Amino acid sequence: MTDKTSPADSLICAPITEARAADFLAALDEAQRIADAIELRLDYLNDEDRARVLAELPARLAGVTKPLIFTFRPREQGGRRDLSLADRQTFWRSLPQALISAMAYADFELDLVASLVASSPIPWKKVICSYHNFDETPANLAEIRDRIARTPAAVIKITTQATRITDCLRIFELLEGSPKPIIALAMGVPGLATRVLALSRGALLTFGALRRGAESASGQPTVAELRDRYHVKQLSRASEIFGVIGDSVGHSRSPLMHNAAFAALGRDAVYLPFEVKDVGEFVRDFVRPATRKIDWRLRGLSVTIPHKLAIMPQLDVIDPTAQRIGAVNTVVVEGNELRGYNTDVIGAMKPLDELIAVRDARVAVLGAGGAARAVCYGLSERSAQVTIYARDLVKAQRLADEFKAQAAQLEDFDSGAEVVINCTPLGMQGRSVEASAAKSEQLGGVKLVYDLVYNPIETVLLKEARAAGCQTLGGLAMLVAQAAEQFRLWTGEEAPTELMWQAVSPPGF
């Protein structure tokens, strides 16, 4: 199986992971409504609840039209029960014939298959033979696949733990020329691409949780995310690939915006989060057309912390604005060239320009990091009178010297400015969510307070600003504006910004 042949071949399978019989059976009804296939994780149930589920299943099967996979996995292979080989053999041999007839597949671990080669209680055409590794993605996966292929099982399943993004390459290689139908996935955030792209590269199915908290493995998206955010059932080898690279991207909102935009414009594309530790390795193996080890149509990338500087030596062309700022947040793959841009300046300044004229205005920039560099660049183009306030005065002075601004300690901030722009992480969701870079009494006379923090939407600083009678602007405006410019650079089309707003805004915002 080397490619997807038709939409009918694409299956999103929802595992049922409830621990109580009543909840388990209710989840079966839920999965019937939203998934293409259903895995009954019977190892999640204790003996009493499992007996009840198995007793009630035959009466419910008439209402189940989706393929069913039965799984009874031991703890050491990812299950929820301490089960010996004998326990598993007894379970499968005692399964009622009505359930055996109703199931599409039974998932047997490799050691179980080996023990039942001569006397399987389940027809081999209904058996998935599975291998799991929860520590790593070993180098000999092709050997393991071929070993499973030599068993009488109908389907090969290999699931490993991705410790870095390059582990995905081994999983994708398994799908190429597999001698039998295959399911191959990598767990963890670095392995997400294997789950999203599995169907387009020939896998029998991919797994999606019914909801957050119901995952059967780490890094598992929900059915809704696979279907509605990533549109996995519409993807093919011809689909364009985009994504964000960073060393912590699991909570990035960029996939929400860009996938919504691609869908709205009918573009055959998907945007993925790529958790990358070594940016040079990633560019070589996944990005640069001459050296990459995967056959895909990668068209562009967003770049976030900590790779905005490290990506620059990997590029063929860098836009002058990005050169001056000293950071790239956007990569465009154009032919065999990699081109770098920085859309943070446009992202930060466009929403500000729509609200207030900053030319010659007195502006206080709080912070001296990467976001502050982009803001100072934009303000310098508008001849604003800038003072940079930072805890590290030496760092602030260097930035001030570069952009002909003033520098001061953050603790010395006063309300002499007309515009205040927070470029620090103070107020961000996490340890500093209750913090604020300024209090209301420091904001007297300020016309506008702009907080680049967007999570939460309503920061403490914005509350303090409104209490002082200031106009406010939140960081979501910059997030959407910089993403819209990325979209234009990648596609040549104007982004549906209103839709992108809706994709990342909380209900009622």
* Catalytic-residue membership of 447: no
Question: Of the listed 126, 132, 233, 258, which one is catalytic?
Answer: 132
Q: Are 219 and 192 in contact (CB under 8 A)?
A: yes
Report how far apart, in Å, the C-alpha atoms of 426 and of each of 368, 433, 460, 480 are: 13, 7, 9, 20
Which residues are CB-neighbours of 59 under 8 A, at least 6 positions away? Answer: none
* Of 15, 65, 11, the residue nearest 38 (C-alpha): 15
Question: Of the listed 157, 258, 307, 350, which one is catalytic?
Answer: 157
**Can you say whether residue 34 is alpha, beta or left, with left for phi > 0 and alpha for psi between -120 and 50 degrees?**
alpha
Q: Are 400 and 390 in contact (CB under 8 A)?
A: no
Identify any residues that bridge with 451 across adjacent strands, giving them in sequence order: 422
* Catalytic-residue membership of 231: no
Rounded to a whole number, what is the largest CA-CA distance in the chain?
Answer: 85
Spatial distance between the Cα atoms of 175 and 194, rounded to a whole number of angstroms: 10
Spatial distance between the Cα atoms of 487 and 261, rounded to a whole number of angstroms: 9
Report how far apart, in Å, the C-alpha atoms of 308 and of each of 231, 313, 322, 417, 446 are: 29, 11, 10, 30, 32
* Catalytic-residue membership of 157: yes
* Catalytic-residue membership of 344: yes
* The token pair that represents 149 in the structure block: 């292929």
Look at the block and give the residue holding tokens 């992108």. Answer: 500
Question: Of the listed 107, 167, 319, 344, which one is catalytic?
Answer: 344
* Of 88, 107, 94, the residue nearest 15 (C-alpha): 107
Spatial distance between the Cα atoms of 273 and 297, rounded to a whole number of angstroms: 16
Q: Which residues carry out catalysis?
A: 132, 157, 308, 344
